[in-house]
Structure 1
């Protein structure tokens, strides 16, 4: 029998558990740990609340979670409740699937001013992550600046631009919906250091922005390359650029309730200005040189009361685990950190790829573990952890407990919404005791 511990219950964690079942069948026991009492990680707290079809992938993870050989161990934090060394003493292999939940810093003067947020924090706020539920961003200024040219920047802009009616079937949390209902934001500026041919925005996300009832996307035609050059792009990027060209061609004049979404290309933020709170962003015009954005020396200011940086994420360091500061991930060689210690998903490769990319990653790491550990070691596994948890008074949340939390959230949903999430750990624990 092999005993595997997976730390992190998001896509990477559950795909890895699925791979372990396929590799060893009844000869493996997998415990999936999470610091929160609720599973599914990025699916719950990172995927946009109006992307319910993407969240549906959690049903696949539920099938794995209900296997007798896989166990969800929620409300247990590595480094707080037990150490890496203790977990390694209990399990044949420990796999870190903790994702990349923290924002990369802009590294600019003024980024610590009030109402400047990273996208992990801002997205966590409107998705109800307990760590960010009290963020309370002020939406009292008419202009918001979003830094970044990827899909997360589009998610943030879309959420800021949506009408209340367009959130009807989403699971956006009540505190965020109330704040957006009273929002004064009428102009959203999306800053990108490079140009339209370098965006990481997919056609689907750009197309969604164009369909909103009150959003008015705009691109300066001067920023668009020669159309003949579009033929060199891959299919997805070519479709994205085609949409940006439609934004530059203009459409019906915006109404009184319209929110303008400006794509400001070749624009690099240089400082965030204000006394105690952001009041403006200083921006430098750039140009491409060997594919890289270099400053031209021309600067201008965008008055703004809210700044959200969507420039990437990094993994949370864990005591006694080697960390690659530059890559924002655990130091590893093809997923191996140290004997018996592995990493997978964003914790291994950094924040790249889609949710589905984690599946082959999980299967690959299980193949490596099978090669490294052809036989079980006789470590105690689950019974050993359970004894330790009882000794330390750790309140563990099982998958059946999560199902009670899930039922309570669904029952509390506003009309048309799939659920109303609990935004505090204490609320989750209380709900897990019901019934």
Structure 2
């Protein structure tokens, strides 16, 4: 028997566990999937927007993996930080694969970033996704104007949720308090801004198009601003810039070309969207070639964002144009990327925000460390989509299996769960998670809704024990 711990139950962790039990090179591998939270699925549960039901349905396939007879889910087990040191976990298992993701957001490093009313998109997403760490967060949404800095899918998610009505979100699992705040929202303007042009935006076309289909909102783009991007003027596919192409034109990927075509259609139509007829409830402004340089203050809070105007530099980047624009905002949400955090006991590359590795093997002073592996964002950085974690996990598992003879000689605990309990932990096993699911269904029925997430630690742990199901 080979005992392996996988730390993290998001897609990368679950795909790692799946690859371990479905391979045939080492026939008797048993996997414990540990997670700091009482609930599995990681960013699929706590990062995918509540109105993206198709993506959230991925939980069904992750569930099938975690119900495998040689996989055990153990929630409420923190490794590192205030929990069990990584070296002690290594005493219980012959191998440990860390799939802890990228747990924090990137900052802007500009004046005013710490003002009240300036938050990370991660905090906002955690709030409307009922992450228990966000239970103390409060977004009253009394701002009339919101600036979202970033032009990736997270920025689009945040803008879309801000532009939806509470009735649109009521059928989802958004927590009840967040639904109440969204019902009382005074937001009327959402400005999503990026420092480069539309052809370099990181959102997917599907997400972009969703903005134009919102029933209570309209999308506004500035044709003159978009035209600063040479690729916007000529979005035709090409392997190299044609002689007839505008100056600085660069080849477009198919995804970028589709994005540009959507924006061209909106620019030609003027203010557009399903809510354009009559008075839409909210307006989403898509802005480009704006680099944030300062958050403006009034009465001790955020009052707006000062942007430096940028223009293409001819090499795929931008340079400042020497002019500035201020946008009023009472709430600023930054969505400029994620970043991994050091895990106590493991080496860490602060420049990349990842654990140094060789094909998934953790490197200590450049040498592979027996029994220690990484997969997912903590291995490769916050890149790719959910499906990218499959190939990443398979590479790591291949390295682990290549080391199987060495690992088999390492000691492991006969009963790791008993050892965790002896150390004072209260692991939430699969039955406990099913009790949480049942409690969330009961909570939803009491509110006249479908299942509603329990948003706090006390409620989740009580539900896992079969006790009080928690409040809204």
Instruction: Please give the TM-score of this superposition, normalised by the length of structure 2.
Output: 0.88
SS of structure 2 residue aligned to 1:342:
strand
Q: Deviation at 1:55?
A: 1.1
> What corresponds to 2:153 in structure 1?
151
2:451 aligned partner:
419
Equivalent residues in 2 for 1:284-323, closer than 5 Å: 284-289=308-313, 290-323=315-348
Three-state SS of the structure 2 residue aligned to 1:172 is coil
Moved more, 367-376 or 157-166: 367-376
- Are the equivalent residues in 1 in contact too, given 2:219–2:271 (CA < 8 A)? no
Structure 2 residue aligned with 1:373: 404
Q: Aligned partners of 1:393 and 1:332: how far apart in 2?
A: 32
Question: 1:178-257 alignment to 2 at 5 Å?
Answer: 178-225=180-227, 226-232=232-238, 233-249=252-268, 250-251=270-271, 255-257=278-280
Partners of 2:329 and 2:407 lie apart in 1 by 59
Match of 1:102 in 2: 104
Against the structure 1 CA distance between its residues 50 and 367, is the aligned structure 2 distance closer, same or farther, given a 3 Å change threshold?
A: same
2:438 corresponds, among 376, 401, 407, to 407
Structure 1 position 141, deviation (Å): 2.0
- Deviation string 1:250-279 (CA, Å, 9 cap, x unpaired) is 146564343111111000100112153211
Q: For 1:393 and 1:90, how far apart are their aligned partners in 2? A: 15
SS of 2:341's partner is: coil
CA shift, 1:101, in A, is: 2.1
Aligned residue for 1:45?
A: 46
Q: 1:430 to 1:343 in 2, by over 3 A?
A: same
Match of residue 394, structure 1, among 419, 425, 429: 425
Q: Is the 8 A contact 2:435 2:464 kept in 1?
A: yes
Cα distance change on mapping 1:420 and 1:318 into 2, 3 Å: same
Contact 1:2 / 1:29 at 8 angstroms: preserved in 2?
yes
Structure 2: tracts of 5 or more residues without a match? 239-251, 363-368, 468-472
What is the Cα deviation at residue 22 of structure 1?
1.4
Please, which moves more after superposition, 413-422 or 165-174?
A: 413-422
In structure 1, C-alpha distance between the alignment counterparts of 2:159 and 2:449, rounded to whole Å: 21
Higher mean C-alpha displacement, 328-337 vs 12-21: 328-337
**Matched residues, number:** 435
Match status 1:82 vs 2:84: yes
Residue 357 of structure 2 aligns to a residue whose secondary structure is coil
The offset of 1:134, in angstroms, is 2.1
Q: Which one is further off, 12-21 or 201-210?
A: 201-210
Q: 1:104 to 1:30 in 2, by over 3 A?
A: same
Q: Name the SS for the 2:286 alignment partner.
A: strand
Question: Take 1:255 and 1:98, find their aligned partners in 2: how far apart are those partners?
Answer: 47
Kindly provide the CA deviation profile for residues 353-407 of structure 1, in whole angstroms up to 9, marking residues without a partner as x.
1111111111111001111223552555463422322322211100111011011
TM-score (norm 1): 0.95
Distance of 2:356 and 2:222 partners within structure 1 = 42
Calculate the aligned-residue CA RMSD, in Å.
1.8
Secondary structure of 1:64's aligned partner: helix
Q: Separation in 2 of the partners of 1:375 and 1:40? A: 31
Offset of residue 316 of structure 1: 2.4
Segments of 5+ residues of structure 1 without an aligned counterpart are none
Q: Offset at 1:227? A: 3.5
